[in-house]
Amino acid sequence: MTNQRNRSKACAAVLFLAMLIVWSVSVGQLIAQEALDEKPVEEAPVDVEAAPPAETPNFETMTAREFFEMIDFGPSYLEAFIDFQPQEGSEQEAVIRALTRIRRLQPHRITRWLKLEAPWAELAANPEEHRLEIYLLIGNVTAVREKVLPAEAVERVGLSSYYEVDLALDDSKGEATATIVVEDIPRAWKVALDPSKNVIGQPVSCPGVFLKALSKEGAKPDLLFATPKISWHPSKPNAALGVTSAIVRLSQQGMDISELSQIRDRTKFEGMEREPFYQMMTAVSRMPFDEQTPTVGQSVSELMLLPKDGLMVAPEKYRGEFLHLSGLCRRITRIEIDDEDIRDRFGIDHYFELSIFVPIPAPIVSQRPGDEESRREFSNDYPVLVCVPNLPQGLAVGDQLHASVQVTGAFFKLWAYRTPFMSRGDYNRRQISPLLIAASVQNSTGGAGFETNQFAMAMLIILIIVVGMGIALGILFARKPASRRR
């Protein structure tokens, strides 16, 4: 009863403070408004010859063609494309112009203009009417060619080469073929570029900006598109391309596997890592529960200290692999997502970051050479970061937790971040920890974190005091004369 009364008082105090803050803000706004009302208004001189202000473009009603014309890819370049003929050398300047302009296509604009189904026969029959429309292209690679630009053109356009990727397009109404011009291809393709063995047949998707019809032969037209990026979705493991069974799991849930090459270990979060982070989180969240199993036989604790190919020395080996860990969760932070395009595209407006200390078989020491004061040692456990979209019952946000948890998640990177322990005395020094992305976390304690543990500790202390007092009284009573006993 006392506890409930204290909670009621605390709630009342919080409510009062909140009302006080709201009242203070309202008064402040009222005072500011009165000050503005009392301030004399000076009329600005009118310049009758001044040019009228430029109208702000209305992107909500603008078409893709109007957008391209606004960024200097208009009729003069479109006239260079000659339909129903193979690509001509005279069209290369227009192709390069298209590639340098579609860099400005932001994801949320592509999403708004993207047409999910392409009328292949209509595009081939009336290409002029559909020029610069954007279509979702899905298919399999049939050829890859690199087009190297002349040296005199490199400095002028800022582009040394581009690629042509031939696709067999997927469509329920029949097949079509397409050539996609793109500034770059997935890094793994270039490292092991052997069309006859590795790249041919790879599943891909991309937003294709329609440029021209190459031919219109029956139900299989040949079309030319430009794209800012080709997304890669491997359907089976491929050692030459670095595709594991775990990566195939992520690919099957829609993740663009080429984004993994943007990740950098032992660094803070970089801008290019934003896309693979949210794509991986979305893919893991969509994954069936029976697929959320470890793909590596050893746990994170066991992988931490392997000398040659362990998680801390060769993190790239484990990128995208599903790893299991169990440990003590000491902190949970809710991360709000401010980026509107991320919320719109992935349906995510927040996630939770868990700091979990996993047991380690031997100490891990970080120290600058010859600087004993910089020594930092983790003797029994080591922090691992795990990001999840939701928390299970019994876990809540806090920074003094003591909850036993288990997690299986996909390894993202070794993250460098500041902590009070590591950055003490040197603000720029960072903690290096594995970062995993998981669909869920299992709460092994069945408690509610710090508050539950605090209550349990208090009850334990009271129990010890009561037992101690009982023992003391028993001893004291036992020492009294027998004649006074009853």
Q: Is 139 helix (H, G, I), strand (E, B) or coil?
A: strand
**pLDDT of amino acid 87:** 83
* pLDDT at 345 (0 to 100): 87
Q: Residue holding tokens 């456990």?
A: 381
The pLDDT assigned to 238 comes to 92
Position 262 scores a pLDDT of 95
* Nearest of 213, 127, 147 to residue 176 by alpha carbon: 213
- Residue 226, classed as helix, strand or coil, is strand
Q: Please state the CATH superfamily assignment of the domain spanning residues 64-239 in this structure.
A: Nucleic acid-binding proteins (2.40.50.140)
Q: What percent of the chain has pLDDT over 90?
A: 52
CB 230, CB 204: distance < 8 Å: yes
Structure tokens at 269: 């979060």
CA distance 139 to 6: 64
Report whether CATH 2.40.50.140 matches the domain 247-366+374-443. yes
Ramachandran area for residue 305 (φ above 0: left; ψ -120 to 50: alpha; else beta): alpha
Tokens 């909850």 correspond to 403
- pTM of the complete model: 0.75
Taking the CA atoms of residue 14, residue 19, residue 22 and residue 25 in that order, the dihedral angle to the nearest 10 degrees is -100
User: Rounded CA gap, 113 and 130, in Å?
Assistant: 13
CB atoms < 10 A from the CB of 21, how many?
Answer: 10
* Phi/psi at 232 (5° precision): -110, 130
pLDDT confidence of residue 55: 67
Closest CA to 225 of 132, 301, 159, 344: 132
Q: Helix, strand, coil shares of the chain as percentages rounded to 5? A: 40, 25, 35
Closest CA to 409 of 475, 343, 307, 327: 327
For the chain, domain boundaries: 64-239, 247-366+374-443, 457-484
Report the SS3 class of residue 404: strand
What are the residues facing 331 on neighbouring strands? Answer: 355
Domain pair 64-239 / 247-366+374-443, same fold:
yes
Could you tell me the two tokens for 225?
């598109």
- The closest alpha carbon to 355, from 395, 303, 316, belongs to 395
pLDDT < 50 regions, the chain: 1-49, 447-456, 480-486
